[in-house]
Structure 1
């Protein structure tokens, strides 16, 4: 095995962000380490050599996977080929179980140890994945405290590190600067729209968001910020907004401003996923929405066995935030929820209090440092390589 080589694989935007932070932490702890794998902009900026791009493998549902399969398959083959050639000391696979559990099996067959960072949501659906994890994953690093019991009972080595977003979710600019850049009035109610970090998600979620925003803007003084993730082409998003928004109120599209939008907006409409955790950390009242193809939704209903879709509600243990999923996700439904949170201060305050309790469940700061230390302990205890690693 290579003495100074680690394979790291992320399959979507959140994994790319976590991977970048973890790569930097490992580089600071392991002199001369070289990290390569499946990366996005954040991991590339952190010095990770990109063998495959997350855009090639970022798929969300069954029908969406089928249409993107050839592209994703080529990316997977490139990763396996490079891993076989370089024989890294270990692989760190981040979230994206449809991609990474397949990779874990292929890597273990080549005697490459596997650490999995960000547990698949086996407590919500596809519980049978625990068998695959036990067979092919050497160490699981969890973000949520309740996940450790599941792995301990299954005999999978596990460690809870907390959630990286606790340290990452702060705004980079002031409230005044945010509204200045957006050319919006800081004294007018602002609604943030976060349709997702993948093009397929945006196609499914944004049209209804824009229709609801158009309805809300007809009867009140309000303004909207469409927050674009770095993985989404800003011009493409602006063209969709121009086609789908017919309201009288201002709507601005801003790129790479998720943290700021959630910090300074009065209400957010958020596609179910990591962004709901970001909104909770910013104590931003929200409505969670999501839509996939009808075929994907029908299959998912057979496998999901939790009462809520959003992690915020699962951590809260009750419906702390409204969820509009699939057929419930209509423009009138969404518009009425937005108006309620803008007008009903009692409802807003109750939601904010619930979000504070959710934040407490995410652990203290320093999750990435704990994850990096866990990786180094694994390497020493299992003699994964001859890398000179510092004591954690």
Structure 2
């Protein structure tokens, strides 16, 4: 069968790659065409567009790039028509994917959504579009099943979180070899995960690095995003206690003592690696003013949302400043606080279900399309 997959961000590339591997096991004759990244390309299939051409952050940035976005939508529709897939699998990225889904449904093409849009956070009225435009919905957060089924009467499948698969299936790195390879000394490591887009990286790294001098007994390591080149990060490497490692975020987290993390999937990844963290986020003034008026969630990190309580500290907008970052990072090295965090991270993992999200989803998709 023919599968068309659309993932528009780094996290979608990771989950898309694991889903593709599972699809190829379920359907050995699978023909896959996709929008994604390097990981999906390694898994097989034909790459149409890389997500680095698609990622625009914030309300204002989207407006400035509206022409590019509309051209991508037009191109995507034409490419789908030429490919004639048996099913389109959408992975997150709702602004783009829901437009394509509406069009595809009208064309009579099967539409499956893996990692559904976070309409429980904002734009809940999108439920009408989801009910109209999608044949199947696969959710990865435990509270999403109740949200869709009990609140909105739309049946969905809870498949567990694919991050557990990604972490479970990775090759475990030897810490001594890793440190030697990247010229890291024996000091404890603080991982810096400032996001994947240039706008947020520039803003967040400047804040994260402001506390380096306050922690001379630790070394700070920037986790380079796969979508960015080393040349972009070089401007931040002016302190001998700051290092840079590209495309090895999981290996870095596995040897880190603490982390400063920009809100997003990385907050959950860090917790699943059992690394105490502080969540830091500061957007443009205009984007933040818009967001706080339409998003009604108590928390911005997935860790706190899933646990429905504050497990990790969130420093947002004005609270995200050098003084507060230093204060909260110091807490992460306190034995009792660390112990409490790690216990709650264990509870978090249990809530997310076991391994096998990619395999479960692939089997359901193949069986549904065949049926």
TM-score normalised by the shorter chain: which range applies? over 0.9
**How far apart, CA to CA, are the structure 1 residues paired with 2:155 and 2:179?**
47
User: In the alignment, what sits opposite 1:71?
Assistant: 68
Q: In the aligned structure 2, how far is the partner of 1:73 from the partner of 1:256? A: 30
Match of 1:205 in 2: 204
Deviations 1:108-149 (Å, cap 9, x if unpaired)?
Answer: 121111100002112222211111111111111010122112
Q: Which residue of 2 aligns with 1:152?
A: 149
2: CA distance between counterparts of 1:168 and 1:31? 22
CA distance in 2, matches of 1:34, 1:7: 9
Query: Match of 1:368?
Result: 358
Match of residue 240 from structure 1: 235
* Residues 40 and 53 in structure 1, CA contact (< 8 A), matched pair in contact too: yes
Flag as ranges the 4+ runs of structure 1 deviating above 4 A: none
Task: List runs of 5+ in structure 2 lacking aligned partners.
Answer: none
Residue pairs, 1:1-392, within 5 angstroms: 4-153=1-150, 154-169=152-167, 170=170, 172-186=172-186, 188-214=187-213, 216-217=214-215, 220-237=216-233, 239-242=234-237, 245-246=238-239, 250-342=241-333, 344-381=334-371
Unaligned runs of 5+ in 1: 382-392
Alpha-carbon deviation of 1:107? 1.2
- Residues 63-103 of structure 1: CA deviation (Å, up to 9, x unaligned): 12122222222222211101122221110000011111111
What SS does structure 1 have at the residue aligned with 2:292? helix
The corresponding residue for 1:390 is none
| Residue pair 2:143, 2:306 contacting (<8 A) in 1 also | no
Q: How many angstroms apart in 2 are the aligned matches of 1:292 and 1:378? A: 41
How far off its partner does 1:287 sit?
0.3
Shift of 1:22: 0.9
Which is worse superposed, 28-37 or 308-317? Answer: 28-37
Whether contact under 8 Å (1:138, 1:156) holds in the other structure is: no
Distance 1:240 1:302 in 2: 34
CA contact (8 A) 1:142 1:148 kept: yes
SS of 2:138 mapped into structure 1: strand
Q: Structure 1: how far apart are the matches of 2:325 and 2:42?
A: 37
Compute the displacement of 1:171 (Å).
Answer: 5.5
The DSSP-based 3-state class of the residue aligned with 1:128 is helix
CA distance in structure 2 between the partners assigned to 1:171 and 1:206 by the alignment: 28
CA–CA distance in 2 between the matches of 1:48 and 1:128?
A: 35
Per-residue CA distance 1:344-382 (angstroms, 9 max, x = gap): 11111111111111111111001100010110122133x
Question: CA offset at residue 8 of structure 1?
Answer: 0.3
Secondary structure of 1:146's counterpart equals helix
Find the residue that maps to 2:191 and give its secondary structure. strand
Q: Could you report, residue by residue, the CA deviation over 1:258-317 in whole angstroms, capped at 9, with x for unpaired residues? A: 112211111100111111111111110000111221111111111111211101011122
Q: Give distance in 1, aligned partners of 2:134 and 2:154.
A: 8
Contact 1:138–1:157 under 8 Å retained in 2: no
**Partner Cα distance (2:45, 2:64) in 1:** 28
Moved more, 70-79 or 325-334: 70-79
- Normalising to structure 2: TM-score of the pair? 0.95
**Distance in 1 (alpha carbons) for counterparts of 2:97 and 2:339:** 40
Deviation at 1:156, TM superposition (A): 2.7
364-373 vs 328-337, greater mean Cα deviation? 328-337
Report the TM-score when normalising by structure 1: 0.90
